[in-house]
Structure 1
């Protein structure tokens, strides 16, 4: 009887030890899973990122996405500068905030940038900034303390551009000559004003791309679609014809002298002056 009691006690002891080690093993596995999840979320660092820095990074990503979307939607016709300026301001401001914010002695910029050869955040910022700077968008605005405002030159161009397009649309008909005649002065006024905005009269040096694209589109409509440049070429053609005729007169005269010789039977009589001979004979 005592033997059976001892055997029963040993079995219970073994079961208790098994349950204890099983629970310890489960707790170990749970801790391991939590650690793996912590590493999978991209936060497997001894000191996790400050929450404030990550919130700025999230805001920067959102504004960069908004600016990218805006620039794509306003790619043709180009209205990048006018339509996307607010997105650009928020995007650029958040990037500067990310660089300058310091939490517990740690710069947020140093946490996310210059840590690897991809340097994704800076590359994204620089690529979007290249689009804005490439379009000379800053030249469309006066940058004051209250934010950007369209320059007077930009406002005047937009007004002249709208007047020209309204004139063309309102006078479209079966005969393009009517549009050309009625809108000629409006178009010339727009073209001359555009040339005054830039030293090279093309605008590639400093004029913002919204204006450049609007002018290029108007010129294409005026010359290729409406073929209105033919009216302006008529006086030039007349001038060139007159210049060509006047320039050819010396050649015509030379050919006349060269080939229009006297008829063979005629001789030219040369009068000789005998006064010198008479003078010497008297002396």
Structure 2
């Protein structure tokens, strides 16, 4: 045992340095004589099978492409519409690694060597990160059931969003100073219909999603939410179009009617009290005249 403890480290050091453990006899060793030591080294430092190495390289390349796509489309957020193909590719690569002919990892050595051979488990960490990011973005709510493309409602919403942005840009070019926009600016007047369609479409998607989902809180995918937030912020804050120009006349009429209600109430109360007072006054005089007549008749 002492001999092996001294001899084995020298063997490994010699092999790592691409030298024979016996320098004096290095020139006389043939390929057949070195093979037992190489087999020992492979047992101590097992290599990944070529098939597993190819699967690992495929997962690595897909992960790089997906990571780059997520970062490139982080602002404004368009990850769901631009990265769903790459996310599906990463998912398929992981399935290829973990797929086994049977129910045990022994039937698939790649799953054991790539997913469970060490404590860190880099492949699983990367896969969990992508899945958590995708779930947090709620990208499934903007895709078809099989995730092969965007849903019809999402395509319609994005088309209305692009139309609204084009309308904003076109009408801003006609403004002399885009910082001095009012409620009756060209943007508010000319883009009112397009903005209303976009807002109605967003509300409809939210309503239909809440009806389909059993969860208490429903969120559309981050692409749709971010696009709607950008549009509303431009419409209300930048352009000051919170009140639609076409709705100002009805709103002023209703507001004037509500403000005039107290005046009508107090005026009617005053007139009613005045009329009641006039009715009560003759009755008192009539009673006093009757009483005086009765007194005079008694005297006579």
Q: Same fold (TM over 0.5)?
A: yes
In angstroms, what is the RMSD of aligned CA positions? Answer: 3.9
What's 2:201 paired with? 193
2:19 maps to: none
Write the distance in 2 (CA, Å) between the matches of 1:256 and 1:201: 57
Local SS of the residue matching 2:206: coil
Q: Is it true that 1:182 corresponds to 2:195 in the alignment? A: no
Q: Radius of gyration: which is bigger?
A: 1
Aligned pairs, number: 236
Structure with greater strand percent = 1
Structure 2 partner of 1:229: 242
**Are the structure 2 counterparts of residues 26 and 270 from structure 1 closer, same or farther at C-alpha, using a change threshold of 3 Å?**
farther
- The residue number in structure 1 matching 2:157 is 157
Q: 1:74 to 1:257 in 2, by over 3 A?
A: same
**Alignment of 1:92 onto 2:107:** no
Structure 1, unmatched stretches of 5+, are: 1-20, 275-283
Please name the residue that 1:208 is paired with.
Answer: 221
Evaluate the alpha carbon distance shift between residue 108 and residue 252 of structure 1 in structure 2; reply closer, same or farther with a 3 A threshold.
farther
Report the CA distance between 1:74 and its aligned residue.
0.2
Alignment partner of 1:73 is 2:72: yes
Asked whether the 8 Å contact 1:195–1:201 carries over to 2, the reply is no
Task: Tell me what 1:112 maps to.
Answer: 114
How many Å apart are 1:98 and its aligned residue? 0.8
CA deviation after TM superposition for structure 1 residue 174, in Å: 2.3
3-state SS, counterpart of residue 75 of structure 1:
coil
* Counterpart Cα distance in 2 of 1:60 and 1:78: 25
The answer (yes or no) to whether the contact 2:85–2:148 under 8 Å persists in 1 is no
Q: CA deviation at 1:243?
A: 2.0
1:11 alignment partner in structure 2: none
Q: Please state how far the C-alpha of 1:105 moved relative to its aligned partner.
A: 2.8
Alignment correspondent of 2:63: 64
Mapped partners of 1:26, 1:251: distance in 2: 120
Partner of 1:134: 136
Give the Cα–Cα distance (whole angstroms) in 2 for the partners of residues 194 and 68 of structure 1.
Answer: 29
Cα gap change, 1:121/1:255 in structure 2, threshold over 3 Å: closer, same or farther? farther
Residue 183 of structure 1, CA deviation: 1.1
* Residue ranges of structure 2 left out of the alignment (5+ in a row): 1-21, 211-216, 291-300
> TM-score, normalised on structure 1?
0.68
Distance 2:28 2:235 in 1: 79
TM-score normalised per structure 2:
0.65
